[in-house]
Amino acid sequence: MKTTFQNTLVKMPEYEIFDGDDFVTFYMMGVNHSHTYVTVAITNRGKISVVDYPLYENSLGLYFEYGPMFEKVYLTEFDEV
Protein backbone atom coordinates (compact mmCIF):
# COMPACT_ATOMS: atom_id res chain seq x y z
CA MET A 1 0.00 0.00 0.00
CA LYS A 2 1.40 3.37 -0.98
CA THR A 3 0.66 6.42 1.18
CA THR A 4 0.91 9.86 -0.33
CA PHE A 5 0.96 13.16 1.47
CA GLN A 6 -0.17 16.43 0.00
CA ASN A 7 1.65 19.61 0.94
CA THR A 8 -0.78 21.92 2.68
CA LEU A 9 -0.16 25.35 4.11
CA VAL A 10 -1.69 25.94 7.51
CA LYS A 11 -2.21 29.57 8.41
CA MET A 12 -2.35 30.35 12.09
CA PRO A 13 -3.35 33.75 13.39
CA GLU A 14 -0.35 35.52 14.87
CA TYR A 15 0.39 38.50 17.09
CA GLU A 16 3.69 40.17 17.92
CA ILE A 17 4.74 42.27 20.90
CA PHE A 18 8.00 43.92 21.89
CA ASP A 19 9.00 43.01 25.45
CA GLY A 20 11.69 45.68 25.80
CA ASP A 21 14.51 43.47 24.49
CA ASP A 22 13.08 41.39 21.64
CA PHE A 23 9.95 40.65 19.70
CA VAL A 24 7.77 37.83 21.02
CA THR A 25 5.46 36.17 18.50
CA PHE A 26 2.26 34.32 19.45
CA TYR A 27 0.58 31.83 17.11
CA MET A 28 -2.99 31.02 18.13
CA MET A 29 -3.51 27.28 17.86
CA GLY A 30 -6.99 27.08 19.32
CA VAL A 31 -9.61 28.29 21.76
CA ASN A 32 -11.57 25.72 23.70
CA HIS A 33 -15.32 25.63 23.12
CA SER A 34 -16.27 27.02 26.51
CA HIS A 35 -13.85 29.97 26.07
CA THR A 36 -11.96 29.27 29.26
CA TYR A 37 -8.46 28.98 27.76
CA VAL A 38 -6.46 29.58 24.58
CA THR A 39 -3.57 27.48 23.29
CA VAL A 40 -0.72 29.49 21.76
CA ALA A 41 2.71 28.67 20.39
CA ILE A 42 5.21 31.32 21.47
CA THR A 43 8.54 32.14 19.86
CA ASN A 44 10.76 34.09 22.20
CA ARG A 45 14.53 34.58 21.68
CA GLY A 46 14.82 31.50 19.49
CA LYS A 47 12.83 29.20 21.74
CA ILE A 48 9.38 27.82 20.96
CA SER A 49 6.87 26.78 23.59
CA VAL A 50 3.21 25.80 23.54
CA VAL A 51 1.18 27.16 26.44
CA ASP A 52 -2.47 27.15 27.55
CA TYR A 53 -3.48 30.52 28.99
CA PRO A 54 -6.72 31.17 30.88
CA LEU A 55 -9.03 33.58 29.07
CA TYR A 56 -10.55 36.66 30.65
CA GLU A 57 -13.17 39.02 29.26
CA ASN A 58 -13.82 42.73 29.58
CA SER A 59 -15.60 45.35 27.47
CA LEU A 60 -12.89 45.06 24.78
CA GLY A 61 -13.27 41.29 24.37
CA LEU A 62 -11.47 38.07 25.25
CA TYR A 63 -7.82 38.28 26.30
CA PHE A 64 -5.05 36.42 28.11
CA GLU A 65 -2.25 37.85 30.22
CA TYR A 66 1.43 37.46 29.31
CA GLY A 67 4.70 38.24 31.02
CA PRO A 68 5.72 39.66 34.38
CA MET A 69 3.60 42.78 33.84
CA PHE A 70 0.53 40.69 32.88
CA GLU A 71 0.17 42.46 29.54
CA LYS A 72 -3.29 41.92 28.07
CA VAL A 73 -3.21 40.17 24.69
CA TYR A 74 -6.63 40.41 23.01
CA LEU A 75 -7.69 37.64 20.66
CA THR A 76 -9.05 40.25 18.23
CA GLU A 77 -5.49 41.57 17.74
CA PHE A 78 -4.32 38.35 16.06
CA ASP A 79 -3.98 38.53 12.27
CA GLU A 80 -3.76 35.71 9.75
CA VAL A 81 -0.48 36.05 7.90
pLDDT for 21-40, tens place per residue?
Answer: 899 999 999 998 787 999 99
Q: How many whole angstroms separate alpha carbon 53 and alpha carbon 76? A: 16
pLDDT at 51 (0 to 100): 95
Q: pLDDT by residue (tens digit) across 49-74? A: 999 999 999 999 999 999 888 999 99
> Smallest Cα–Cα separation from 71: which of 18, 12, 14, 13?
18
**1, 2, 3, 4, 46 from 42: Cα distances, Å:** 38, 36, 32, 31, 10
